Amino acid sequence: MAFNLKNRNLITLNDYTTQEINFLIDLSAKLKADKYAGIYGKNLENKNIALIFEKPSTRTRCAFVVACIDEGAHPEYLGKDDLQFGKKETIKDSARVLGRMFDGIQFRGFKHSTVEILGQYAGVPVWNGLTDLFHPTQVLADFLTVKENFGSLKGVSFAFCGDGRNNVANSLLIGAAKCGMDFRIVAPKELYPDKALVALAKDFAKETGAKINLHSDVDKGVKGAQVIYTDVWASMGEEDKIAERIKLLKPYQVNMDMINKADKDVIFLHCLPAFHNPETDLSTKYPDICEVTEEVFESKYNKAFDEAENRVHTIKAVMVATLGK
């Protein structure tokens, strides 16, 4: 079933219905199949897209750029030193200026309020490429990957292990509740998600049949899970908390012992980048920082690179659905 999402923002998944989320995932699968077949649409022809980045990015930036070009749009990268955001110009005023020049705006940065103000005042579709609170475009790619492996989302048992109150966990919580999944946050109680957000997810779950549970016990949390997901233990801007997080989260590291407690057909997902060996500057400095072992990361269970590719197709679907012809 098709849905008219023209001129809609994507700030969080809270604002989208179950049917709309599934529509975006199905559209992503179609656009992916088209690209594999060498079929390129021009749904965004002559559209100019502002890509605003306060934080560095590999997957989000590249996915938006490739998705724009595939569909005929012109992407314009605007880094943190290219704009006057909050310095010489209010975000509200910047939004109204950018909205007169661009047809759509992606924002990746720190404060969630920034993308909300952009969405309120730009007058064109605004897409959240990541804030401190939410990362909705990531979760669409996660769910496309789950659907590719299990055929559907409803009823799939999904365990997020690690920092249960980061932006990815928050978005997964809402998305899973809206899509009827058996979703577990597996984390120390100190890193459980915000109580109000959990309550909201449980309200959505009443409508979809989803299960929402929080576990500090790893064995209970991952038992029978079809998906095990993790993220880095300290997000961008939290580098001063690395030692503290390692101490808290070491028991929640994804390793083969955890995999063996899950479903026999379990898949491993990660939004990337991942610490899984001592080959990065941070993992050299902090040898215990790895949230997943090399054994798991290089195993057949790892679908994180499919997931990374799916960022292109799901972001393309969001732009086509909200801005395309």
Report the pLDDT value the prediction gives residue 11, as an integer from 0 to 100.
98
Residue in 122, 114, 170, 146 with CA at minimum distance from that of residue 28: 146
Helix (H, G, I), strand (E, B) or coil at 73: coil
Amino acid in position 59: R
- Does 63 lie in the same domain as 169? no
Q: How far apart are CA 278 and CA 201, in angstroms?
A: 37
pLDDT in tens, 71-85: 999 999 999 999 988
Residues 189 and 284 in one domain: yes
Q: Give the model's pLDDT for residue 99.
A: 98
Q: 159 lies in a domain? A: yes
Dihedral of alpha carbons 318, 319, 322, 325, sign = negative
**What pLDDT, on the 0 to 100 scale, is given for residue 289?**
96
Give ∠ CA 77-82-86 in degrees, rounded to 5: 120
CA atoms of 20 and 18, how far apart (whole Å): 6
Asked, for residue 2, whether it belongs to a domain, the answer is: no
Q: Is residue 171 part of a domain?
A: yes
* Helix residue spans in 6-90 (DSSP H): 18-36, 59-70
> From CA 142, how far away is CA 150, in angstroms rounded?
12
Same domain for 93 and 185, yes or no, is no
The predicted-structure confidence for 122-161, as pLDDT tens digits, reads as follows 999 999 999 999 999 999 999 999 999 999 999 999 999 9
Shared-domain flag, residues 313 and 249: no
Residues 126, 95: Cα–Cα separation, whole Å: 10
CB 228 within 8 A of CB 304: no
Q: What is the DSSP letter of 254?
A: B
| Structural Rg of the chain based on CA atoms | 19
What's the domain count of the chain?
A: 2
What mean pLDDT is predicted for residues 60-68? 98
Q: What is the mean pLDDT of residues 31-35?
A: 98
Tell me the percentage of the chain whose pLDDT exceeds 70: 99
- What is the average pLDDT across 91-110? 97
Same domain, 128 and 144: no
Does residue 265 lie within any of the structural domains? yes
Closest alpha carbon to 41 in 64, 72, 62? 72
Given this model, what pLDDT does residue 1 score?
55
Verify that 128 and 172 share a domain, yes or no: no
Residue 209 shares a structural domain with residue 127 = no
The CATH number that applies at residue 292 is 3.40.50.1370
149 and 127 in one domain? no
Task: Please determine, for residue 207, whether its predicted confidence score (pLDDT) is greater than 80.
Answer: yes
Same domain, 116 and 155: no
Q: Is residue 1 part of a domain?
A: no
State residue 240's pLDDT score.
Answer: 84
Rounded to whole angstroms, how far apart are CA atoms 102 and 200? 34
280 pLDDT higher than 70: yes
Gap between the Cα atoms of 58 and 97, Å rounded:
27
Helix and strand numbers, DSSP H then E, in the chain: 13, 9
Residue 2 reports pLDDT greater than 90: no
CA 121 to chain centre: 24
Domain that holds residue 47: 13-134+309-323
Q: Any idea which residues carry the catalytic annotation?
A: 108, 135, 138, 231, 271, 311
Backbone angles phi, psi at 85, to 5 degrees: -40, 110
- pLDDT tens digit sequence for 109-130: 999 999 999 999 999 999 999 9
The yes-or-no verdict on residue 214 having pLDDT over 60 is yes
Do 18 and 70 lie in one domain? The reply is yes
> Does 180 score more than 90 pLDDT?
yes
| CA distances for 98 relative to 76, 102, 127, 137, 318, angstroms | 11, 6, 14, 21, 20
Instruction: Render pLDDT for 229-268 as a digit per residue (tens, 0 to 9).
Output: 999 998 767 788 899 999 999 999 999 999 999 999 999 9
Asked if residue 55 and residue 167 are part of one domain, the reply reads no
- Residue 296: closest CA among 257, 265, 262, 263: 257
Secondary structure, 3-state, 307-324? HHHHHHHHHHHHHHHHHC
- Pair (43, 104) in one structural domain: yes
Is pLDDT of 190 > 80?
A: yes
